[in-house]
Structure 1
Amino acid sequence: MKLDVTTRNMNILECFSSETRVRIIELLNGQPYNIGELAEALSLSSAIITKHIQKMEEAGIISTENMVGKRGTQKRCSLNIDQLTLVLRTVPADKPADHTQYTVELPVGQYFRHEVKPTCGLASSEKRIGMMDDPRYFDDPERTQAEHLWFGSGFVEYRIPNYLVGHTEASSITISLEICSEAPHYNENWPSDITFSLNDTDVATWTCPGDFGSKHGLYTPQWWIDTQYGLQKTILITREGTFIDGIRFSNVGIQQLNIKAGQELRFRIACPESAANCGGVSLFGKGFGNYPQDIRVTIAV
Structure 2
Amino acid sequence: MNIEVNSSNLKFLECFASDTRVKIIELLNVRPMNIKDLAEALGISSAIVTKHVQKLEEALIVTTESVPSTRGRQKICHLTLESATLQFKAKAKADQNRYAVSIPIGQYSAYEVKPTCGLSSDTRIIGMVDDPRYFSDPEHVKACHLWFGSGYIEYRVPNYLVGRQRARSIAISLEICSEAPKYNENWPSDLSFYMNDICLGVWTCPGDFGAVKGVYTPAWWGLGTQHGLLKQITVDADGSYIDGIRMSDVTVQDLAIGYGEDIRFRISAPETATHSGGLSMFGRQFGNYDQDILVYVGY
Q: TM-score range by the shorter chain?
A: 0.7 to 0.9
Q: Answer yes or no: is the 8 Å Cα contact 2:21–2:53 preserved in 1.
A: no
- The residue aligned with 1:80 is 81
Q: Answer yes or no: is the 8 Å Cα contact 1:125–1:287 preserved in 2.
A: yes
Q: Give me the identity figure in percent.
A: 52
Work out whether 1:115 is the aligned partner of 2:112. Answer: yes
Which amino acid in structure 2 is aligned with residue 174 of structure 1? A
Q: Answer yes or no: is the 8 Å Cα contact 2:56–2:62 preserved in 1.
A: yes
What displacement does 1:230 show? Answer: 0.4
TM-score (normalised: structure 2):
0.78
1:229-281 deviation line (CA, Å, top 9, x unaligned)? 10000011011000111111111111110113222311001101011001000
Which amino acid in structure 1 is aligned with residue 205 of structure 2? C
Q: Answer yes or no: is the 8 Å Cα contact 2:2–2:232 preserved in 1.
A: no
- The residue aligned with 2:297 is 299
State the number of aligned residues.
269
Judged with a 3 Å threshold, the aligned counterparts in structure 2 of structure 1 residues 127 and 76 are, in CA distance, closer, same or farther, namely closer
- The residue aligned with 1:72 is none
- The residue aligned with 2:236 is 238
Work out whether 1:187 is the aligned partner of 2:188. Answer: no
1:111-135 deviation line (CA, Å, top 9, x unaligned)? 0110000000000001000000000
Work out whether 1:143 is the aligned partner of 2:143. Answer: no
- The residue aligned with 1:286 is 284
1:33-77 deviation line (CA, Å, top 9, x unaligned)? 3589xx99x97349869868975886652479xxxxxxxxxx997
- The residue aligned with 2:7 is none
TM-score (normalised: structure 1):
0.78
1:256 to 254, 257, 276: 254
Alignment partners' CA distance in 1, 2:2 and 2:215: 16
- The residue aligned with 2:22 is 22
Alignment partners' CA distance in 1, 2:286 and 2:80: 19
What displacement does 1:300 show? Answer: 0.6
What displacement does 1:2 show? Answer: 7.8
Which amino acid in structure 2 is aligned with residue 103 of structure 1? A
Q: How does 1:84-99 map to 2 (within 5 A)?
A: none
Judged with a 3 Å threshold, the aligned counterparts in structure 2 of structure 1 residues 12 and 195 are, in CA distance, closer, same or farther, namely same
Alignment partners' CA distance in 1, 2:31 and 2:110: 43
Alignment partners' CA distance in 2, 1:84 and 1:155: 28
Q: Answer yes or no: is the 8 Å Cα contact 2:233–2:242 preserved in 1.
A: yes
- The residue aligned with 1:174 is 171
1:78-126 deviation line (CA, Å, top 9, x unaligned)? 553422889xxxxxxxxxxx99210001100000110000000000001
1:191-231 deviation line (CA, Å, top 9, x unaligned)? 00001100000001100000111111111101112211100
Judged with a 3 Å threshold, the aligned counterparts in structure 2 of structure 1 residues 128 and 166 are, in CA distance, closer, same or farther, namely same
- The residue aligned with 1:44 is 42
Q: Answer yes or no: is the 8 Å Cα contact 1:15–1:55 preserved in 2.
A: no
**Secondary structure at 2:134's aligned position in 1?**
helix
**Secondary structure at 2:291's aligned position in 1?**
coil
- The residue aligned with 2:204 is 207
Q: Answer yes or no: is the 8 Å Cα contact 1:63–1:80 preserved in 2.
A: no
Work out whether 1:218 is the aligned partner of 2:234. Answer: no
2:275 to 274, 277, 282: 277
> 5+ unaligned residues in a row in structure 2: which ranges?
4-10, 65-75, 88-94
